[in-house]
Each structure stands twice: as C-alpha cells, then as structure tokens.
Amino acid sequence: MLFLNAMQEEKVILVNENGKKIGLMPKMEAHEKAVLHRAFSVFIFNDKNQLLLQQRALDKYHSPGLWTNTCCSHQRDGESNIEAGFRRLKEEMGFETSLMEVGSFIYKAPFDNGLTEHEFDHILVGKYNEDPIINKNEVASFKWMDLDDVRVDIACHPERYTEWFKIIFDKFYETINIKQDEGSGK
C-alpha cells in the first residue's frame, strides 16, 4: 500500500505533440487517462557492441517480467532528460555513465490492466563494460545481447518484450546502432 501511495503522489510532466510542457499530473492518473507525458528510455552498450537488457521486476504494475531496454522512467519537473536518465540508471541498475540523447518519438500502448502508456519518449545511449548491480525492487534479471540477436528474438518471441522497447527497436535500430558506435570511438 505504501508503494501504491508513493506512486500515486509521483507526478509526470504532461506535454503536447511537440514535447512542450503543459502541466503536471499524478503518474497513475496519467496512465489511467492515457494522457501524453514525458518519458525516457536508456540503452547501454559495452565494448563488444552488446546491449544491456533488463527483465522488469515481477511485481511491476504493468509489463511485469518482460525484457526491455537498460532502464526507463519519467523525468521529474525541472530535471533534464540526461539528468533523469542518469538518476534512474543508478537507481535501477546500480551504476553511472555518460549519456547522449539520440532521438525521441511518441507512442501509445494500452495494457491488460486498464492502464495506458502514452509517452513522448526520449532515447538516451551510453557505454558501460561491467555487469550492473540490479535493484531487485525494479529489475528481476539482466543480460547482454548482440543487436542482431535481439532483433531475431523479438521477431520470434514478441510477447517476451515491452511494447515501447519493440517500437524503439524497430524505429530506431539504425540510429541507436550508429550512435553507440560513435560513442565507442569507431
């Protein structure tokens, strides 16, 4: 109950289709009403060009147990995209690294529990070569995967992955791959 109360008090930043802030709303209310709000998705690569994936904790309020990008969440009011990504990466995966924003997009995904993610999502990319120290309240497991293997697994088993991850991977595969290569000095 304490977790649910804390989540209801957390506010997301409402935005228009251009990403401009238009207000704040409690997180659960925004998901219940499917209101467009700001979010971010972090993609961390190692020097072997593998992507660090996380499996969402089994008690998450939506998409529990599904595989997804390294971490994701919502910016706090007054927090930049990079600051938010940096904060959440530390909270979920237990490490810090530099991040670079590589794009953004809008998506809408309804869930079986009646909630809907309707997000203006900012994609952040970074490099890291160690295994994370995961926060078990947020993350059930992790793995490093080659991008081509991720692509094949999504095609064969889409039910294993979060909706936003599948959308990002499909729309931004080339951009993410190029940007992470740039970050490695290739």
Residues 6+ apart with CB under 8 A from 128: 44, 45, 46, 52, 95, 97
CA pair distance 147, 117, nearest whole angstrom: 25
* 42 Rama class: left (phi>0) / alpha (psi -120 to 50) / beta: beta
Q: Mean pLDDT throughout 81-108?
A: 96
pLDDT digit string (tens) for 10-55? 999 999 999 999 999 999 999 999 999 999 999 999 999 999 999 9
Residues forming the active site: 72, 119
Q: 108: which 2 tokens?
A: 């809408």
pLDDT of residue 179: 53
**Beta carbons within 10 angstroms of residue 55's beta carbon:** 17
pLDDT of residue 74: 96
Q: Mean pLDDT throughout 106-114?
A: 88
pLDDT of residue 62: 84
Q: What angle do CA 167, 12, 110 make, to 5 degrees?
A: 40
Q: Global pTM?
A: 0.88
Q: 32: which 2 tokens?
A: 């219940």
CA pair distance 79, 184, nearest whole angstrom: 27
pLDDT of residue 4: 44
pLDDT of residue 178: 54
Residue 68 has φ and ψ, to the nearest 5°, of -155, 180
Q: Mean pLDDT throughout 165-174?
A: 82
Domains parsed from the chain with CATH numbers: 2-46+70-133+165-180 (3.90.79.10)
pLDDT digit string (tens) for 123-157? 999 999 999 999 999 999 999 999 999 999 999 99
pLDDT of residue 117: 92
